[in-house]
Structures are given as C-alpha cells and as structure tokens.
C-alpha cells in the first residue's frame, strides 16, 4: 500500500510540473526548436524575415495552423544584441492569437532598441486558469 501511495504521489508531482509554456521556437538565424512534439503537430512557424525600420530591427514570422480546429495561442519575440545578450526581455509580454482551422497569420515585432541584431519567435498554446 505504501508503494502504491508513493507511485501515485510521484505521478501527481510529475503531472503538476508539466511544461505548459513549452511550444515551438524559430530564430532569425534559421534555428528551430521544438519543446512540445504534439504541439508541433498542430502549429509551425515559418518564413522568418528581418529588416531595418528607422534604425531598429523588425522581425516577422508566419504562424501556421496544421489542424482543422480553432487554436488559442500566444507568441513572443525575444531580441538579442551582437554578443548574444537579451535586450529588455522583462519588458516583452506574450501576445494572444487565435487561429481558425488551417489559418496562417503573419506576426511582427520591433526591437526595443537599435542594438538588436537577431531575434527568436516563440509560440505556445494559451492556457486559461
């Protein structure tokens, strides 16, 4: 009985620590990272582009739904300087996005200052509490 309770407790702890923020990341340097395989089967991030806009780096990416149902998502741009340090990461918030079945939507962001040379675009499923 004691073993059963221990196993159940461990199972609950592991479930409670499930990474609800895990999703997909695509970088302006071409890197793609998948933190949640089942989510990557529903969403992809493609066509990352960059340009200068008034001295600031502007980035965009295409978020694509691969499923026929509606998806509630969040996305976020993280900006990096030439040395790989994040720029004002605390000030950038997750933005909400709703995609209908098989819909694609381009999102864009503008770097917080002129030091940005690259970016990463993160997409995750939105969870409501």
pLDDT score of 128: 67
Residue tagged 């009985």 (tokens): 1
3's enclosing H/E stretch is helix 2-16
pLDDT along the chain (129 residues), means of 10: 44 40 90 92 96 97 97 96 90 91 97 96 85
pLDDT at 2: 57
Structure confidence at residue 15 (pLDDT): 37
| Model confidence pLDDT, tens digit, residues 104-116 | 999 999 999 999 9
């Amino acid at each position: 009985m004691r073993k059963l309770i221990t196993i159940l407790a461990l199972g609950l702890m592991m479930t409670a620590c499930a990474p609800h923020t895990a999703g997909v990341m695509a970088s302006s340097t071409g890197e793609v990272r998948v933190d949640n395989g089942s989510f990557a089967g529903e969403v992809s991030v493609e066509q990352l582009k960059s340009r200068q806009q008034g001295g600031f780096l502007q980035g965009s990416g295409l978020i694509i739904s691969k499923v026929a149902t509606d998806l509630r998502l969040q996305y976020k741009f993280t900006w990096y300087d030439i040395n790989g340090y994040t720029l004002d990461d605390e000030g950038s918030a997750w933005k909400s996005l709703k995609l209908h079945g098989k819909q694609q939507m381009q999102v864009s962001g503008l770097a917080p200052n002129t030091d940005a040379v690259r970016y990463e675009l993160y997409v995750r499923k939105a969870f409501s509490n």
